[in-house]
Structure 1
Amino acid sequence: METITNRTYEELNIGDSCQRTHTIDERDLQLFAIVSGDHNPLHLDPVFAATTQFKGQIAHGMYSGALISAALGMELPGPGTIYLGQNAQFKRPIMIGDTVTVTLRVKEKRDRNQVVIDTTITNQNDKAVVTGEAFILAPSEKMTIDMPDLPEITITQPAGK
């Protein structure tokens, strides 16, 4: 079984960073739509999306927030992190097929385990797609945990797709 280990507030230093990379596919958009309830055809309907200024399906804006959340909870600081807030500027769309890299960098340590982390998502062309800052409570206790098993999820395409 795979395990992950966190970094406590005391272990974090200004400038500490991590990166996490993911290639976006249609299933990502479908699963996020199911969980969020956002079924905007810009994200889910290739025919409709082709008629927009983007000329194709784009990822939900908050999907990028979920990618940042995953990096915080899995990498820096890792398990036990509490996500307090985020500011984000959406610079360009994330398209199906894009390979995005989430970069986190510790910017500031505040009192009571509060940490400000610079957040950037870039695409495969090294262009920023999302920039901002995350505000978190870093864990105070060191922990290593087993990764939970996730269920297999099958998405059935509607007739005509």
Structure 2
Amino acid sequence: MLDNFPRGTIVIEDIEIGMFRYIRKEVTDADIEMFATVSTDRNPVHLDDDYAQDTIFQGRIAHGMLTAGLISAVIGEQLPGHGTVYLGQSLKFLRPVRPGDEVYAEVKVTDIDMSKRIVRMDCHCSVEGKKVLIGEATVLAPSRKFD
């Protein structure tokens, strides 16, 4: 991963609307193979060059949820960070991610319910400036009161 914010925790008391964090990561063949092993999703469109060449993608693609996992990484490691509990996530996949693509994954705070510690964030991933995934996440943010 390159060019990322520090990892850690931003507590609900310090989160502001408009705050954002991101990571960049190159998706490798090893990432795709590991994801296939962990998830048990061994669809050949992800793993077999010959098979994938004859699909609408005309080549291998990364699992959509591997790309979505980068959103989870930003939320769990940066904003809000450690101690965050996922409540929900919507996703829309717009374009395939291919082995070797560098994915930029960003989350941006759009709403805060301080009394319930709930934060809503717009999320997106892009490759070469083109969005490949969009969505919204709802999380329970950590608080100083529960340290």
Q: Is this a same-fold pair by TM over 0.5?
A: yes
User: Secondary structure of the equivalent of 2:132?
Assistant: strand
- Kindly tell me the number of residue pairs found equivalent between the two proteins: 140
Mapped pair 1:113 → 2:123: no
Q: Percent identity?
A: 40
Larger helix percent: 2
TM-score (norm 1): 0.83
Corresponding residue of 1:58: 61
Distance 1:81 1:74 in 2: 9
Q: Which of 113, 138, 141 is equivalent to 2:144? A: 141
Distance 1:74 1:11 in 2: 16
5+ residue gaps in structure 2?
A: 1-5
5+ residue gaps in structure 1?
A: 144-161
CA contact (8 A) 2:13 2:144 kept: no
Superposed, which structure 2 residues align to 1:81-100 within 5 Å?
Answer: 81-100=84-103
TM-score (norm 2): 0.90
Cα 1:79–1:142 change in 2 (3 A) is farther
Q: CA RMSD in A?
A: 1.6
Misfit runs of 4+, over 4 Å: none
Corresponding residue of 1:148: none
CA contact (8 A) 1:6 1:75 kept: yes
Distance 1:7 1:51 in 2: 46
